[in-house]
Amino acid sequence: MPKFDVSKSDLERLIGKEFTVEEWEDLFLYAKCELDDVWEENGEIYFKADSKDTNRPDLWSAEGIARQVKWALGIEKGLPRYEVEKSDVTVYVDEKLKEIRPYGVYAIVAGLKLDDEALKQMINLQEKVALTFGRRRREVAIGIFDFDRVKPPLYYRAAEKTKKFVPLGFEEELTLEEILEKHEKGKEYGPLIKDKPYYPLLVDSEGKVLSMPPVINSEITGRVTTKTRNVFVDVTGWDLNKIMLALNVVVTALAERGGKIKSVKVVYPDFEVETPDLTPKSFDVELDYIRKLAGLHLKDEEIKELLEKMMYEAELEDGRAKLLYPAFRDDIMHARDILEDVLIAYGYNEIEPEEPRLTVQGRGDEFIDFENAVRDLMIGYGLQEVMTFNLTNKEAQYERMELKYGKDYSNNPPAELVEIENPISPKWSALRSWLLPSLLDFLSQNTHEEYPQRLFEVGKATLIDESRETKTVSESKLAIVLAQPRVTFTDAKEILDSVIHHLGFDYELEEMEHPSFIPGRTGKILVNGEAIGVIGEVHPAVLEKWGIEMPVAGFEIFLRPLYTDPYI
């Protein structure tokens, strides 16, 4: 979770009201933060704020916290609005950047009066948004420049690696390649672009370099001081919507300091856009839904007032609230998100606990008991249990298994993975759809251990299911691998026979072709005519891709079709 320092006096200057330190402990809760630490430095009281929401970058600065507190206390109400004046500044985007770092959005904020604390908060917000929300600058990188040193129009272009400029903190010119090798930020963020044929560069009409996104700003234009009055904000990345949100967060924070926002026209090879776009977003919610889940007897107007404290404009109509909310938020995906804001405005500490009206007795989930019984069975067969990660990637689930993505192999695996939209790492970019690759990965990391290695896992596989609200379903599965000299299909089948018969079922094997297994030594497992899994000897090509030199046989089955009560 993001942590950052804020000055008590700076917060109160932004709000226009003073509070005690004790009062601030409660006020931070309105901004989904906790007061982590308090200290005094040079006669000034500072707070360390610990944000509890990675989806609210607008709250990661003194400006964002002060804005939310003003609304929560009723100093302001409803939807915050920001005027955007149209400028005559244009940025032209090079087509060659399409496979390098394709998108940039921009804005000007004029008339700023920055003191040391305001400058500190601006830099803090820039870094926190790029680090956390921007996945260490991979998805979002932000540059802020002294606009008075820039000569429009500007050009976001693909530059030769021999191009030179003076990076921030240096006195001499370096080539773009040298910056990646010698500059501290070049070493840290250079891998994001190092292998590209060109490097991104933002320059003005006179050829002055503003920055090399996402690595480093220029010393000439990229050093903002307390004397700076007008700034140019640059945000680059791969997702236009995501960088637009980051731009909105930064410029509205600067507007809280008295800055005037001006738009910039961005010309791409195939379209144009005016940025920033601060058009409010909309959402509808049923008032009874809020009342029911909150457990509070709130009148319609009370709900409206609470929503206005959280910066919504609410229009009540036919039992619903038609909402507008600020363009610097992108976390409203479900009515529960609206409910959360209502409860924050109401105050969690103000909710009276109630005794349950029904006397109930808890018990363990019977299917979990069933899974545990299956585990006991496998241990009885001399197999060792492992627990591997649910997160994986397309390469492990398909390519290393000699499979083609998009083709369904009798649901082992299904045609597609549930992929993560903004993964923190390519290695953890999807939820697994079958378990055998995870077990092979485990074997590949333990080739130095003695054989035989006989492993099993009872775990979850996540599948796409369009009929459900989440469009996904988690299924419980059992998978085993036997890695030992001269292991055969029969060795795995003996365990399969015992497991299924012990659970009170009969099954059939139907020969099938599956690229992960050796042809002629692969079977589809059917119970009551339904395919529940696959068994076979792992193909040598698969073993080679995992770096496993020992033969492997195994199977994987869905457990739900084998569940009965009593089950064993």
Residue-wise pLDDT for 153-198, tens only, equals 999 999 999 999 999 889 899 999 999 999 999 999 999 999 999 9
Residue 554: what pLDDT?
A: 96
Residue 205: what pLDDT?
A: 95
Residue 169: what pLDDT?
A: 87
Whether the predicted pLDDT of 410 surpasses 80: no
Residue 359: what pLDDT?
A: 74
Residue 287: what pLDDT?
A: 95
Sheet containing strand 320-325, strands side by side: 281-286, 320-325, 313-317
What is the distance between the alpha carbons of residues 118 and 537, in angstroms, rounded to a whole number? 65
233: exposed, middle or buried (C-beta count within 10 Å: 0-12, 13-18, 19+)?
Answer: buried
Neighbours of 135 (CB within 10 A): 17
Phi first, then psi: give them for residue 39, nearest 5 degrees: -150, 165
What is the distance between the alpha carbons of residues 186 and 165, in angstroms, rounded to a whole number? 13
In the chain, what percentage of residues exceed pLDDT 70?
99
User: Is there a shared CATH topology between the 3-72 domain and the 281-348 domain?
Assistant: yes
Q: What average pLDDT does the segment 409-428 reach?
A: 83
Neighbours of 518 (CB within 10 A): 17
Residue 387: what pLDDT?
A: 95
What is the DSSP pairing of strand 231-237 with strand 391-392?
Answer: unpaired
Structure confidence at residue 135 as a pLDDT band (50, 70, 90): confident
Q: Which residues contact 81 (CB under 8 A, 6 or more apart)?
A: none
Convert the pLDDT of each residue in 180-191 to its tens digit: 999 999 999 999
Residue 426: what pLDDT?
A: 82
Structure confidence at residue 78 as a pLDDT band (50, 70, 90): very high
Whether the predicted pLDDT of 568 surpasses 60: no
Structure confidence at residue 70 as a pLDDT band (50, 70, 90): very high
Q: What average pLDDT does the segment 466-484 reach?
A: 91
Q: Which of 214, 44, 211, 232 is nearest to 140 (CA)?
A: 214
Convert the pLDDT of each residue in 298-340 to its tens digit: 999 999 999 999 999 999 999 999 999 999 999 999 999 999 9
Which three-class secondary structure state does DSSP give residue 461? strand
Convert the pLDDT of each residue in 486-520 to its tens digit: 999 999 999 999 999 999 999 999 999 999 999 99
In the chain, what percentage of residues exceed pLDDT 90?
81
Residue 273: what pLDDT?
A: 96
Q: What average pLDDT does the segment 216-229 reach?
A: 89
Residue 564: what pLDDT?
A: 81
Residue 566: what pLDDT?
A: 57
Q: Which of 343, 353, 299 is nearest to 321 (CA)?
A: 299
Q: Which residues contact 342 (CB under 8 A, 6 or more apart)?
A: 290, 294, 298, 303, 306, 307, 310
Whether the predicted pLDDT of 567 surpasses 60: no
Structure confidence at residue 203 as a pLDDT band (50, 70, 90): very high
Residue 381: what pLDDT?
A: 92
For domain 281-348, give the fold: Phenylalanyl-tRNA Synthetase; Chain B, domain 1 (3.30.56)
For domain 3-72, give the fold: Phenylalanyl-tRNA Synthetase; Chain B, domain 1 (3.30.56)
Structure confidence at residue 467 as a pLDDT band (50, 70, 90): confident
Whether the predicted pLDDT of 267 surpasses 90: yes
Domain ranges of the chain: 3-72, 84-275, 281-348, 366-562
Residue 565: what pLDDT?
A: 65
SS3 content of the chain, % helix, strand, coil (to 5): 30, 30, 40
Whether the predicted pLDDT of 401 surpasses 80: yes
- Average pLDDT over the chain, rounded to an integer: 92
For domain 84-275, give the fold: Phenylalanyl-tRNA Synthetase; Chain B, domain 3 (3.50.40)
For domain 366-562, give the fold: BirA Bifunctional Protein; domain 2 (3.30.930)
Neighbours of 342 (CB within 10 A): 23
